[in-house]
Amino acid sequence: MFNIPLFPTEASTTASRVDLLFFALMGIIVLFTTLIFVGVIFFSIRYRRGSRASRKGATSENMKLELAWTIIPLCITMGIFIWASKLYFDMHVPPKNAMDIYVVGKQWMWYIQHPEGNREINTLHVPLGKPVRLILTSQDVIHDFFIPAFRVKQDVIPGRYTTEWFQATKLGEYHLFCAQYCGTGHAQMVGTVIVMQPWEYEQWLAGKSSGVTMSSSGEQLFTQFGCVTCHRSDNTGRGPTLVGLFGKKVLLQTGQTVVADMDYIRESILDPRAKVVATYQPIMPTFKSQIDQAQLMQLIEYVKSLGGSQSASKGNKK
Amino acid sequence: MSTSGSENHTNYLNDGYGVKSWLLTTDHKRIAILYMISITLFFMIGGFFALVIRLTLLSPNGTLVSADTYNKMFTMHGVTMIFFFLIPSIPAVLGNFLVPMMIGARDLAFPKLNLLSWYIYVLGGIFTLSAMVLGGVDTGWTFYTPLSSGYSHTNVVPTVIGVFIVGFSSILTGLNFIVTIHKMRAPGLTWFRLPLFIWAHYATSVIQVLGTPVIAVTLALVGFERITGVGIFDPNIGGDPILFQHLFWFYSHPAVYIMVLPSMGIVSEVVTCFSQRKLFGYRQMAFASMAIAVFGFLVWGHHMFVSGQSVYAGMAFSALSFLVAIPSAVKVFNWTATLYKGTIRFNTPMLYAFGFIGLFTIGGLTGIVLATLPVDVHVHDTYFVIAHFHYIMVGGAVMGYMAGLHFWWPKITGKLYPEGLAKFSALTLFVGFNLTFFPQFILGYLGMPRRYHIYPPEFQVLNVLSTAGASILGLGYIIPFFYFMWSLRKGKVAGNNPWNAKGLEWLTPSPPPTFNFDKTPVVTEEAYAYPEEDLAGG
């Protein structure tokens, strides 16, 4: 009659690992809850007022017992901590071959760009069995990209990039929820994740593509906003060249060095004077009011396409 | 008020009847009553919001109220229940009444400050209520930025002013308790002779005094950013939204211990009295209270495992969160061990104490689940979290409050409540509570996010169960309200010590005289010095 779901689908490589840990915790919970409940009920009945059970030798101090029930839970929790930390760490380090998909959250929808140029709203197509890294940002308030079937969740924050990765293991359509309360339409900021066979995914990419990849859209913006006049590829412009920049260390005027990651490039476009490269003048104007989040991601894709340290580009900013 | 001749002594209740004698009182017991009335009012308001939430969730389409109304309902439910009911509940009512009595003092150290703190509470309440009357607020009780500081179009400023103000009431009460417990203990009442209720309030007060200023400043900054547009939390104007979360949880996590530590104190009093047994592991229990207060300040980051904070910070906060669970576990073990070889009576306060132990165990152990990083990633901001913290705050804190209210009601009013009806309603509460919140654990692991007024249809059955439970739970709160009122006029006269309990508060008449003790008591024994060997079979 009623189809009451009791456990969510496992549809990613992470899901089964999280569930295993969850089951271990459930075992511990059942064990300790039973221990306490049985103890309370048994003592209550045996030592109820009027019962003839002997009260001889009642004590209210027992250091050995106190130490035991301090140290045993401590050891159990520390064991879980180590197990959990390992998995948490793995959940933050995407495999080197992960493909990137860009996500912008805004009140109240998800705008998704594939590097091949496909764009979609509130739907995310991904191939089966391939690691996918999402690069997320928000245009307004904090959102959260939550796919229960994959056991992944990440806050989507204005003013910075966060990442989330998964590898789907099961074909199908899964819920996508915004998990961080974001105002009126929070409960409508939902969508569908569609896991397809890799060849179907390729077909989908080709069929729905605008024909313009993200990096070529970025290149157009690079010309349109006049970036190209200063950031020349031969390094003779008034600004530093962007060729081979991505993921490299950059020496600043202040003598500090920073890694040219996505956040750095984004900041340099929106607030150019925050980190000025050594030997260059702080003459670049801000493009804050001209470029939106989706375009920023295209520009970053373009800068990435100019080469640089690929390993750094996959590393997670932490 | 009293009819019986023996009870016709001068007490704090018949010492003046006018409105002025109440509104200008400096008697800690009368102030406790003022608080009791005020927080009950807020509990009813918060309960009404909960009712609307549960009714809306009966249907997956959210047809009862609009999205905006629903968002206001859960926001105002959280704000009233946390800041205006749970945090002041036990300290300001039972703590106010009992801290001086339990340590053999005539009043708190600063009686006028005590009255002032009630007026501050009322003022804060007026601001928050007026925000609700003006149209409400929809940021969630967590006030996350930049939603609260820039994007919400509702009454954020009056609400945060209300919470800012009520914080001072909490700080002053804490300060008053700390000084009172340090300076006004009766002769012979050394630190390790104090009842655990006092230790719990001492630990709570430390958190109130050290933590509350942080939330006050944080919320003031939210209001400041909203009004002036100076960038503090909104990245569009140069702020950092994550900074808000650090500051907010730095207080709001320890605030959980403000709610639950006093309950633990009550459970220690009740379990010993109704087992007629010395508390097992007294010193460990006292240290555990202090350890919870101290460690409680170091775990705030476990609310932020998916916020983008560094992986290593996540690990550190996770480890510390596991540690804070240990003293709580020690407490549960010690209560259970206290029952061993006791002489156990099943009066209503004891039933509530059992309820506390059971529900707090489940709430605490599911807290372990949330401290486990990868599992938290999945259940963060889902109904699993909602279920967990209601097990702690309602199953724990409110159960403890109910235990205490029944335990000391005879002392406070001089009258006994009807035992049979009280046992029935305790059972109703327990059943209703579990039916309301247990399904939410399952909903959470399935992935239903919190703060959704529409949801996928497969979650409906569990939501209907939860709403059904909530109606039983509501009944469990309504019945005591009526029999307590009834008992004021018709209840049996209680006498000084109806439970055969230990503790200074039971030495004085019920209701107590205005200055508590005719003669300052001298303490010669440890807490809970129940006779060692109660002969069996009696």
Cβ-Cβ contacts under 8 Å, B325 against chain A: 73, 77
Q: What is the CATH number of the domain that holds A286?
A: 1.10.760.10
Q: Are residues A138 and A218 in the same domain?
A: no
Residue B529 lies in a domain: no
Cβ-Cβ contacts under 8 Å, A76 against chain B: none
Q: Are residues A18 and A124 in the same domain?
A: yes
Nearest CA in chain B to A188: B454
Residue B499 lies in a domain: yes
Number of domains in chain B: 1
Q: What is the CATH number of the domain that holds B34?
A: 1.20.210.10
Residue A308 lies in a domain: yes
Q: How is residue B444 written in tokens?
A: 């959470």
The whole-angstrom separation of Cα B267 and Cα B124 is 30
Q: Are residues A30 and A177 in the same domain?
A: yes
Instruction: Show which of A169, A189, A211 is a domain's final residue.
Output: A211
Residue A80 lies in a domain: no
Domain span holding position A294:
214-314
The whole-angstrom separation of Cα B8 and Cα B251 is 46
Which residue carries 């900041």 as its tokens? Answer: A267
Q: What is the CATH number of the domain that holds A145?
A: 2.60.40.420
Residue A176 lies in a domain: yes
Q: Which residues of A133-152 are buried (b: 16+ CB within 10 A; e: fewer)?
A: bbbbbbbbbbbbbbbbbbbb
- For an interface test with B, the pick among A31, A85, A267 (most B C-beta atoms closer than 10 Å) comes out as A85
Answer whether A60 sits within 8 Å of B369, measured CB to CB. Answer: no
The whole-angstrom separation of Cα A46 and Cα A53 is 7
Number of domains in chain A: 2
Q: Are residues A183 and A233 in the same domain?
A: no
Q: Are residues A252 and A180 in the same domain?
A: no
Which residue carries 């959990």 as its tokens? Answer: A84
Residue B309 lies in a domain: yes
Residue B515 lies in a domain: no
To the nearest whole angstrom, how far is the Cα of A45 from the nearest Cα of chain B?
8
Residue B516 lies in a domain: no
Residue B25 lies in a domain: yes
| Helix extents (H) in chain A | 13-46, 63-92, 198-208, 214-224, 227-230, 262-270, 293-305, 310-314
The whole-angstrom separation of Cα A160 and Cα A303 is 17
Taking only the tens of pLDDT, chain B with its 538 residues reads 334 444 467 899 998 899 999 999 999 999 999 999 999 999 999 999 999 999 999 999 988 999 999 999 999 999 999 999 999 999 999 999 999 999 999 999 999 999 999 999 999 999 999 999 999 999 999 999 999 999 999 999 999 999 999 999 999 999 999 999 999 999 999 999 999 999 999 999 999 999 999 999 999 999 999 999 999 999 988 899 999 999 999 999 999 999 999 999 999 999 999 999 999 999 999 999 999 999 999 999 999 999 988 999 999 999 999 999 999 999 999 999 999 999 999 999 999 999 999 999 999 999 999 999 999 999 999 999 999 999 999 999 999 999 999 999 999 999 999 999 999 999 999 999 999 999 999 999 999 999 999 999 999 999 999 999 999 999 999 999 999 999 999 999 999 999 999 999 999 999 999 999 989 999 999 999 998 654 544 3
Instruction: Show which of A211, A228, A261 is a domain's final residue.
Output: A211
Q: Are residues A257 and A293 in the same domain?
A: yes
Q: Are residues A163 and A201 in the same domain?
A: yes
ipTM > 0.90 for the complex = yes
Residue B519 lies in a domain: no
Q: Are residues A218 and A135 in the same domain?
A: no
Q: How is residue B31 written in tokens?
A: 């102030």
To the nearest whole angstrom, how far is the Cα of B275 from the nearest Cα of chain A?
8
Cβ-Cβ contacts under 8 Å, B442 against chain A: 6
Domain span holding position B164:
20-506
Residue A126 lies in a domain: yes
User: What does pTM read for this prediction?
Assistant: 0.94
Q: Are residues A181 and A100 in the same domain?
A: yes
B63 touches chain A (CB under 8 A): no
Q: Which residues contact A20 (CB under 8 A, 6 or more apart)?
A: none
* Sheet with strand A162-167: strands edge to edge: A119-121, A109-113, A99-106, A131-138, A162-167
Q: Are residues A111 and A164 in the same domain?
A: yes
Nearest to A66 among B242, B281, B380 (CB): B281
Residue A229 lies in a domain: yes
Residue A69 lies in a domain: no
Q: Are residues A241 and A169 in the same domain?
A: no
Residue B8 lies in a domain: no
Nearest to B462 among A4, A89, A318 (CB): A4
Instruction: Show which of A183, A211, A239 is a domain's final residue.
Output: A211
Q: Are residues A200 and A219 in the same domain?
A: no
